[in-house]
Amino acid sequence: MTGPVAISPPILSVRDLNVDARTPEGRKPVLQNVSFDLAGGETLCIAGESGSGKSVTSLSIMGLLPKASLKIASGSILLGDRDLTKFSDRAMRSVRGGEIAMIFQEPMTSLNPVISIGTQLTEAIREHQGRENAEAVALQMLDAVHITEPARRMKQFPHELSGGMRQRVMIAMALSCRPKVLIADEPTTALDVTVQAQTLKLMRELKSEFDTSIILITHDMGVVAEMADRVVIMQNGRIVEQGDAVEIFARPKESYTQQLLAAVPRLGAHAGTSGPPRITPVSNETAAADRSPILNVRGLNVSYGSTAGKLFKGKPPVSAVKNVSFDIAPGETLGLVGESGSGKSTTGKAVLGLIPFTGHVMIDGQKIGSLSQREMQPVRRSAQMIFQDPYASLDPRMAVGRAIAEPMVIHGIADRSEREDRVAELLRRVGLTPDAATRYPHEFSGGQRQRICIARALALHPKLIVADESVAALDVSVRARVLDLLLELQETMRLSYLFISHDMAVVEKMSHKVAVMRDGSIVESGTRREIFENPQHNYTRALMAAVPIPDPQVHRRLA
């Protein structure tokens, strides 16, 4: 492991920081001998997978560790010449916001839903700068983060803003007292690629304008390449490597760093190929047998909203999906890409009959539009869905084996002994051991839970799987393993996928065909080569341009 390196006198120094967790078996180390410096005016990225200790490090600096479960055992956190580990809670209140501020990962849970944006902004300003001119400063900050109509936004509540705007409010709140250090914990993870690009650009601009040093915590190595002056790589509570960003990306010394960089999907990596990697080419004989699409969609429309009643006029319905048409052949993947609100997920639910729709949808030769829920049951043996959040998709009170077997029970397939054998086989197929069947969802990592959801989707031997942002919340290396698993299953089981994502690099890796959605409509569609090597629509080109390039040398040349 390389030692801490600083490009100028540090504004913040973390030395030999050790944090322990209280467990029934006694204290367990969570951070071990973590040391790094943050120089004035620099951006330091702390990267690593979930559980590596990134967020615990940031909470330690902020003095926000949950006292019931975590405790700083030893080490120092120096802000200038002051050791923050010696500060009382009362003393830390003057540091938080005033000298060190933090942007948390999910703005909706960080903002109070019943208090207006203006009140929440001015509260922080009054706490550190007094009551005078608090509203004027709040308006200036909203303007600084490029929020339109700041005076009107002050009166609005968090739910009235988009995800990108809520994140801008969090940035405005964090910088309102001009802190020396800004800690951003996964600030773009939940954002679309274009909103992410705007947010990162904004952070770079404000860093210069407010003369703030930034600690950016992320598992996205593309974001690291775009933002970092220096990089700290963490694994299992330890720093395994740190140094200049260009050096780390060009010549990583540690195998873990090399694995992280190798797992990053790179836009253009599959140029010149017509299908995903590792897919067995379809012979002419097989292609002839596969002419009928497994999924045929024509003129799909989905609307939400109230209708007129006897006493009240009601609001007109909102069109979420407008005249969408596409086909998916056996063994083929259609990548459906677009930003939040584009209609991707609504389309995925509609084609499986999970929400009302109008238009023509045919699954494996069966038209589903007029079928009742009872009549849909045999159709659902052919088509299954993998949702974005694996934890929310699994019943926390149900053992994993029972969850995987549940579809077989509902459809009356096999007896108990045969179902147990099938569950064990499915767990092995997705890279888990059969003894996982007796455990519960909370006992698994995010990537393992997604594998369990994939096993559950495979329980009925489906021909089509709708994967709705199925890897969006996963770490880069876990994401790579899950994507490889999906490709392997497609190859061995001849599965078809409707692969829904906002990540253009992932869609390029997974897809045979691509459809780009915006405002409920498909604005461009074609083969993977047509879309990625010769995009025709400006929106498609904008999505591709917003994908972070995992090479800091490129960003430094463009700066």
Residue range 403-418: mean pLDDT, rounded: 91
* Stretch (H or E) spanning 297: strand 295-304
pLDDT of residue 559: 59
Q: Examine the domain organization and report whether 158 and 186 are in the same domain.
A: no
Query: pLDDT tens digits, residue range 262-293?
Result: 888 888 888 888 778 764 544 444 444 556 89
| pLDDT tens digits for range 324-364 | 999 999 999 999 999 887 899 899 999 999 999 999 999 99
pLDDT at residue 369 greater than cutoff 80: yes
pLDDT over threshold 90, residue 206: no
Assign 99 to helix, strand or coil.
coil
Does residue 187 share a domain with residue 91?
Answer: yes
Same domain, yes or no, for 184 and 89?
yes
**Domain co-membership, 91 together with 7:** yes
As a whole number of angstroms, the distance between CA 130 and CA 101 comes to 17
Please give the residue that has the higher pLDDT: either 354 or 189: 354
Q: Is residue 153's pLDDT more than 60?
A: yes
Is 128 inside any structural domain?
yes
The reply to whether 297 falls in a domain is yes
Instruction: Calculate what percentage of the chain has a pLDDT beyond 90.
Output: 48
In a domain, 530, yes or no: yes
pLDDT at 288: 43
Is pLDDT of 316 > 80? no
Q: Residue 134 belongs to what domain range?
A: 107-178
Let me know if residue 456 belongs to a domain: no
* Cβ neighbourhood burial of 81 (10 Å; 0-12, 13-18, 19+): exposed
Least confident of 61-65, 97-101, 400-404: 97-101
Q: For residue 287, what pLDDT is reported?
A: 45
The CATH number given to whatever domain includes residue 235 is 3.40.50.300
Q: Mean pLDDT over residues 93-100, rounded?
A: 88
Predicted TM-score of the model (pTM): 0.79
Q: Indicate whether 452 belongs to any domain.
A: no
- Quote the pLDDT of residue 283: 47
Residues 18 and 95 in one domain: yes
Q: Are residues 170 and 186 in the same domain?
A: no
Number of C-beta neighbours around residue 208 at 10 A: 9
- Over residues 88-114, mean pLDDT: 85
- Does 198 reside within a domain? yes
- 278: number of Cβ within 10 Å: 10
What residue has token string 């497994």?
Answer: 294
Q: Based on the domain organization, do 301 and 157 belong to the same domain?
A: no
Q: What is the mean pLDDT of the chain?
A: 87
Number of C-beta neighbours around residue 263 at 10 A: 18
Residue 191 pLDDT more than 80? no
Would you say residue 488 lies in a domain? no
Over residues 225-272, the pLDDT tens digits come to 999 999 999 999 999 999 999 999 999 999 999 988 988 888 888 888
Q: Considering its fold, how many domains does the chain have in total?
A: 3
The continuous run of DSSP H or E covering 467 comes out as strand 464-468
Do 128 and 48 lie in one domain? The reply is no
